[in-house]
Amino acid sequence: MKPIRSFSDLCAHLARQGRRYRLAVVCGADDSTAQAVMRAVDSGFAEAYFVGRTAEVKQQACVAAAPTEWVHYVDADTDEEAAAAAVRMVGKGEADVLMKGLIHTDTLLRAVLHKEWGILPRGRVLTHIAVAQMESYHKLLFFTDAAVIPYPTQEQRLQQVEYLAQMLHAFGIEEPRLSLIHCAETVSPKFPHTEGYGEICRRAAAGEWGRLVVDGPLDLRTSCDPLTLRVKGIHSPVGGDADALVLPDLETGNLLYKALPLFAAARVAGMLQGTLAPVVLPSRGDSADAKYDSLALATINCR
């Protein structure tokens, strides 16, 4: 497969596959969610299950205008009931992607993590992966974690690397380059997370996650700018050409996630990884375009 190098590559790839993924959309009666979902249906890669107060969904112009066999409705009166119903659909294998509409993140996550019928398998780590497309970088840039784990433990970081590797391979990148980010290029006991970076590099080199080049600690410039790497006289197999960044913690991940659209006109998408099915968890303020991008990102990560 040819590598996917942009959001438009991604959507073209999904449309070409000829498979419709089943989306369980929780409380999707708001404009931007309904529009994003209908666009995915129209693009040919989605079949939508709107779960919630479906009478409101049917009133949305984009839904009412073009009735299709690929849209279904599951009624639920409260947000809690809608979240539970959608999560159970994923649990029973009746949906491939879970998507949040106009519902509190906490309410949806409580259902996702429910002890009896939740969809996070025991021992799996729930974490966030984002991807940015911007003119100032020559390819997509993936990073983790902008939304879930405050200060990842070494175990959690190892799973973040595994999820990233899976996603990069799903994007058709044969030998992805992954940077473990720190403010400098040296391990320091003042920054305990850097002390585990060596182990991650060794396990990657041993082939634990398939073809994958990992290096770190590296800072953002030595990760993404070959010139800086040369000026600093550093040798790194990532070569200043990173496909993905593992960030130290949630504060750094979130800062990058917010800085890139705000200051670098980046288009960003995000999703949760670790659950039985990918979870799309947009922000209230996201546009229909942003929600569509995140939906596409989640869909390509379906098994």
Binding to its own copies by residue 206, rule CB under 8 A?
no
Residue closer to its own copies (CB basis): 19 or 258: 258
Binding to its own copies by residue 256, rule CB under 8 A?
yes
Residue closer to its own copies (CB basis): 94 or 155: 155
- Quick one: which of 56, 81, 225, 241 contacts its own copies (CB under 8 A)? 225
Binding to its own copies by residue 232, rule CB under 8 A?
yes
- Quick one: which of 190, 206, 207, 303 contacts its own copies (CB under 8 A)? 190
Size of the site for its own copies (CB under 8 A): 40
**Nearest distance, CB of residue 129 and its own copies, angstroms:** 16
Binding to its own copies by residue 113, rule CB under 8 A?
no
Residue closer to its own copies (CB basis): 55 or 231: 231
Rounded-to-integer distance, Cα 67 and Cα 51, Å? 17
**Nearest distance, CB of residue 143 and its own copies, angstroms:** 10
Site for its own copies in 261-280 (CB under 8 A): 262-266
Binding to its own copies by residue 104, rule CB under 8 A?
no
**Nearest distance, CB of residue 20 and its own copies, angstroms:** 32
**Nearest distance, CB of residue 250 and its own copies, angstroms:** 6
Rg for the chain, CA atoms, rounded? 19
Residue closer to its own copies (CB basis): 65 or 227: 227
Binding to its own copies by residue 73, rule CB under 8 A?
no
Q: Which residues bind its own copies (CB under 8 A)?
A: 134, 136-137, 146-147, 150, 181-183, 190-191, 219-221, 224-225, 227-228, 231-232, 247-256, 258-260, 262-266, 284-285
